[in-house]
Amino acid sequence: MGILEKIAEIEREIARTQKNKATEYHLGLLKAKLAKYRSQLLEPSKKGEKGEGFDVLKSGDARVALIGFPSVGKSTMLSTLTKTESEAANYEFTTLTCIPGVIEYKGANIQLLDLPGIIEGAAQGKGRGRQVIAVARTADLVLMMLDATKPNVHRELLERELESVGIRLNKRKPNIYFKQKKGGGLSFNATCSLTRCNEKMVQTILHSFKIFNAEVLFREDCTEDEFIDVVTANRVYLPCLYVYNKIDQISIEEVDRLARQDFSIVVSCNMKLNLDYMLEALWEALQLIRVYTKKPGAPPDFDDGLILRRGVSVEHVCHAIHRTLAAQFKYALVWGTSTKYSPQRVGIAHVMADEDVIQVVKK
């Protein structure tokens, strides 16, 4: 019995089992087994089959993966936003490998990967699905392309495929401290009242992973699924934007309904509608900021800014300029919204904001 059959068997049993107090531990055990088999699927096989390379070298300031069913307009989007031409045609599976392009926006180079269309059952390896999903795991953000003319069931199908291979969209990492120990049994604590999980459930799940000595601390009320995510420790938490393409073919009421959903953007690649707003949303979701440098006695260099992530300190800026600069740092002068007055003399721990100007003074 192969791994795929085992997974299918467990999924059928979960669907058959009624959910109540008597069966919750049995269900927890089944979910843990399912997570274990699925993580085995993700591991590369020992026989190194030589094939055509699929992944692309990471470049630029951020990496965005375009994911969607075949023929929803991913290649058209890539050709419209970047200088790269990706073959687009009216039949499915026009794109057969990963095609990279670069979006130049606000001085940042954002790498956009046009991936082949995903079909149902991609997580089990159908239609190069496993390679597509492996590339998506390395991205900073997932751009999910959907066809506005088709029913919304596509979105749920794609979410389920990504969920089954350990990609969690628009979710935070569960606030659970978990550490395996050499001995001493299971130490279980919680800093809040737990309504969706308890010590017996945690013990059942850990036993199925053959873990008998561990320290577990729940800092928030989590479900057993979230606890399994923490134990397997191979989950990726990515922001995701749902892009509905082909809005020129549906009614304005339907466009309005789609645009009001969470994390949703409506566009038309053929007619180039709303693409500027999509880029702005992409910039916000990636949490990028620009920091400009200034030499003493000279105006700031607004042509060549540093692209960094939101929440960076002056120390990160020093490393971005030169790796030896942080060691020689004395103080910095900062102009911009992160200061109370301009220029403000700040230390190495000061947090920068978008479009700040910095002048570093060495010892």
Q: Is the pLDDT confidence value at 115 over 80?
A: no
pLDDT band, very low/low/confident/very high, at 120 (cuts 50, 70, 90): low
At residue 95, the pLDDT reads 58
At residue 130, the pLDDT reads 67
At residue 53, the pLDDT reads 53
52-56, 61-65, 213-217, 351-355: least confidently modelled range: 52-56
Q: How far apart are the first and last CA of the chain?
A: 67
How many whole angstroms from its chain centre is CA 4?
26
- 307 vs 83, which has greater pLDDT? 307
Q: Peptide bond preceding 343: is omega within 30 degrees of 0, i.e. cis?
A: yes
Q: Is the pLDDT confidence value at 141 over 80?
A: yes
At residue 227, the pLDDT reads 85
Residues 287-313, mean pLDDT to the nearest whole number: 86
Highest mean pLDDT among 9-18, 74-83, 285-294: 285-294
Q: Angle at CA 308, nearest 5°, toward 304 and 314? A: 95
Read off the DSSP letter of residue 83.
S
Residues 37-52, mean pLDDT to the nearest whole number: 60
Backbone angles phi, psi at 169, to 5 degrees: -95, 130
290 in Cβ contact with 306 (< 8 Å): yes
CA distance 315 to 296: 19
Q: Is the pLDDT confidence value at 59 over 80?
A: no
At residue 58, the pLDDT reads 74
Q: How many CB atoms lie within 10 A of CB 22?
A: 8
Helix residue ranges per DSSP H, the chain = 3-16, 24-42, 74-81, 129-137, 153-164, 199-208, 224-232, 252-259, 275-286, 314-321
At residue 274, the pLDDT reads 81
Partners of residue 62 on adjacent β-strands: 110
pLDDT band, very low/low/confident/very high, at 117 (cuts 50, 70, 90): low
pLDDT band, very low/low/confident/very high, at 126 (cuts 50, 70, 90): low
User: Which tokens go with 360?
Assistant: 């570093």
Question: Which domains are delineated in the chain?
Answer: 62-86+96-170+236-285 (3.40.50.300), 175-221 (no CATH), 288-362 (3.10.20.30)
337 in Cβ contact with 354 (< 8 Å): yes
User: Which tokens go with 355?
Assistant: 């479009």
In this predicted model, what pLDDT tens digit does every residue of 79-110 receive, in sequence order? 777 777 666 655 555 556 677 788 888 888 88
255 in Cβ contact with 265 (< 8 Å): no
pTM: 0.75
pLDDT band, very low/low/confident/very high, at 320 (cuts 50, 70, 90): confident
Q: Is the pLDDT confidence value at 48 over 70?
A: no
pLDDT band, very low/low/confident/very high, at 258 (cuts 50, 70, 90): confident
pLDDT band, very low/low/confident/very high, at 162 (cuts 50, 70, 90): confident
Q: Is the pLDDT confidence value at 51 over 60?
A: no
pLDDT band, very low/low/confident/very high, at 55 (cuts 50, 70, 90): low
Residues 281-302, mean pLDDT to the nearest whole number: 86
Q: How many CB atoms lie within 10 A of CB 55?
A: 12
3-class DSSP assignment, residue 48: coil
Quick one: what percent of the chain has pLDDT higher than 70?
Answer: 88
pLDDT band, very low/low/confident/very high, at 305 (cuts 50, 70, 90): confident
Residue type, 231: V
Residues 14-27, mean pLDDT to the nearest whole number: 82
Residues 171-183, mean pLDDT to the nearest whole number: 87
The mean predicted confidence, pLDDT, of the chain is 80
Residue identified by tokens 């971005």 is 320
